[in-house]
Amino acid sequence: MSAERLIYLPLGGAGEIGMNCYVYGYGREDEERLIVVDLGVAFPDMDGSPGVDLIFPDIAWLEARRDRIEAVFITHAHEDHVGATGHLWSRLRVPVHARKFTAAVARRKMDEQGQDPEEVRIASPWPAQIEAGPFKVGFAPISHSIPESSALVIDCPAGRLVHTGDFKRDATPLVGEPFDPALWAEIARPGVKALICDSTNVFTDTEGRSEAVVGPAIQELVVAAPGMVVATTFASNLARVRTLAEAGQAAGRSVVLLGRAMRRMVTEAVEAGVLVDFPKTMPPEDAAKIPRENLMLIVTGSQGERRAASAQLARGKYLGLEMKEGDLFLFSSKTIPGNERGVLNIINAFSEMGVDVVDDSSGRYHVSGHANRPDLKAMHEITAPQFLIPMHGEHRHLREHVKLGTETGIAGVLAPNGTMVDLSGNAPRVAGYVDTGRTYLDGSVQIGALDGIVRERIRLALNGHLVITLIIDEEDEPLGEPWCEVKGLPEKGRSKAPLSEVIEEELGQFLGRADDDLLVDDDKLTEALRRVARNTANSEIGRKPEVTVVISRLS
């Protein structure tokens, strides 16, 4: 008879910063009752996922065990933790628990996808606990950059787990509850079996700074600016949005929120009562009447996103507003790796307009929302866990965080996505590997990252596309000439004649020589035409395109 066991299984977030989704289970092997922490998204890029709208963790493993899932818990309202709730919920159909503001965001996401918002239930903070099968789960307030961020205290018969969610050690976070070492000491008193811990900033050696330090620096900058001031940060970084708005207000400027996500996030937070005394804002349509030196815009697009407000302003007018020489643009944000080129393109566009751009390179106008290396160490020490499981990081972060644990004598487990860890014994043990991956939201359809669909699009982008059509008559003879259409290829090559004509000519000659066996076999004929077309293209333009052959038979 197998004993009961406690398992941990990351499906997303332990291999990337984003797309968080973690599973805990307790019970007999393969009968464990399960809870899910976070249903987040990651964002696509042109390199690896062109045309994709959003990226979700692959939850096939969970879906197949739906009857064993008790509930989903959402730690906070950032997209990489809550963003997939509406899209994935119908595949799980279990209650979702979150604190009030997070629940408001999750409910909107449910509503947008046609799901019942009431499936999201509002949780009270620690010391309240929610029973979920063998688990009792508490939302323990922890400082981050959005209100109501919570670590989860997860109790089960095998002991207590602390799942930090995203956090920093900040005594004055401006929004949300301050980091409270006494609370964590209290929570740790019964003993912590495992600390499952944010790894984002494990490579940053200096102690983290409080959100409160950037306000005065930003205010100084805004006061000194002669023209309009425009500042960008993540809309969901409500701490910073507040800091920016207060700096604008203190400088006597009218504050305008630009960009749908920015306006919506602030509205939701105000409505949820977690953003009290937020400075009065002015609608964008009224701003054009105000002298520009009295304006402070807070805009979306800190990562250079093409459709966000900052990119629109870099291209010209946006909602009647326009940047001019002498204005100031502030990136109160860190550029996420992969987004550098997009951000720099915006900076150069502003430079052409004569706008002064200030970024975070001085360290004065941005602080991270995540715990740095010394803060992680402090968290290890306060909670004194038996095991450390780094999460919320790329592989390099997880590996480094395990090393950090080793320095302080805590047994660490390197558990990337799909690694099932058995936490029951005195040492953590890898109990198996689960197939994991990524699900793409492609238009309105969920597809697997490895289905080949996006790979096919990438090949079209790299190689271009030739379409060849051929009609075969009732006597199995070509009717007329083959036809060639080109997409994304140079019009002319080596022989200075149109590429499509050169290929048609070669295909025509090939068909003239082709024997009857070939002409009756669609597969062989398709392959032969493809080969001729690719070789001709290669000799003409030095490139072998993707080829689609359409043979229409009149018989």
Distance (Å, whole) CA 367 – CA 363: 7
394 near its own copies, rule: CB under 8 A: yes
Q: Considering the rule CB under 8 A, would residue 434 count as an interface residue with its own copies? A: no
Among candidates 62, 226, 84, 162, which has minimal Cα distance to 376?
Answer: 162
Pick the closer one to its own copies by CB: 66 or 487.
Answer: 487
What's the min distance (Å) between Cβ of 38 and its own copies? 21
Beta-carbon contacts of 136 under 8 Å, excluding residues fewer than 6 positions away, are 129, 130, 154, 155, 156
Q: Which two tokens stand for residue 396?
A: 């390099």
For residues 212 and 441, which CB has a smaller minimum distance to its own copies in the complex?
441
- Considering only residues 60, 122, 453, 514, which one is a binding residue for its own copies as defined by CB under 8 A? 453
Give the separation between CA 375 and CA 396, rounded to whole angstroms. 18
Pair 528, 487: CB distance under 8 Å:
no
Tell me which stretch binds its own copies (CB under 8 A): 211-219, 311-319, 326-334, 440-448.
440-448
From 60, 411, 447, 518, residue interacting with its own copies (rule: CB under 8 A): 447
- Which of 192-200, 210-218, 393-401, 503-511 is the region at the interface with its own copies (rule: CB under 8 A)? 393-401
Q: Which is nearer to its own copies, 491 or 521 (CB)?
A: 491
Residue 433 contacts its own copies per CB under 8 A: no
Pairwise CA distance, residues 31 & 202, whole Å: 35
Closer to its own copies by CB, 428 or 464: give it: 464
The site string for its own copies over 49-78 (x = CB under 8 A, - otherwise) reads -xx---------------------------
User: Does residue 494 belong to the site contacting its own copies (CB under 8 A)?
Assistant: yes
Q: Across the strands, what pairs with 438?
A: 57
Q: For residue 458, state whether it binds its own copies (rule: CB under 8 A).
A: yes
Contact 428, 419 (CB under 8 A): no
Residues 536, 542, 547, CA angle at the centre, nearest 5°? 55
Closest approach of Cβ 16 to its own copies, in Å?
9
Question: HSE on the CB side for 175, CA within 13 Å?
Answer: 30
Q: At what angle do helices 238-250 and 260-271 cross, to 10 degrees?
A: 90
Which residue number, 260 or 395, has a Cβ lying nearer to its own copies? 395
Which tokens belong to 281?
Answer: 């804002």
Between 100 and 543, CB nearer to its own copies: 543
Q: Quick one: which of 90, 348, 408, 495 contacts its own copies (CB under 8 A)?
A: 348
**439 token code pair:** 């699900």
Q: Is 19 in the site for its own copies (CB under 8 A)?
A: no
Q: Judged by CB under 8 A, does residue 28 bind its own copies?
A: no
Q: Under a CB-based contact definition with an 8 Å cutoff, are residues 193 and 388 in contact? A: no
Q: Rounded to an integer, what distance in angstroms lies between the CA atom of residue 45 and that of residue 49?
A: 5
Side chain identity at residue 151, one-letter code: A
Residues pairing with 419 in the sheet? 433
Closer residue to its own copies (CB): 65 or 543: 543
474 lines the binding site for its own copies (CB under 8 A): no
Q: Which two tokens stand for residue 50?
A: 């062109």
Q: Which structure tokens are listed for 354?
A: 């004569």
Element (H, E) at 111: helix 100-112
Q: Which of residues 352-371 bind its own copies (CB under 8 A)?
A: 352, 357, 361
Q: Is 541 in the site for its own copies (CB under 8 A)?
A: yes
Q: Return residues touching its own copies (CB under 8 A).
A: 15, 45-47, 50-51, 203, 337-338, 340-342, 344, 347-348, 351-352, 357, 361, 394-396, 399, 416, 442-445, 447, 451, 453-454, 456-458, 460-465, 467, 469, 471, 479-480, 483, 485, 487-494, 538, 541-543, 546, 548, 550, 552, 554
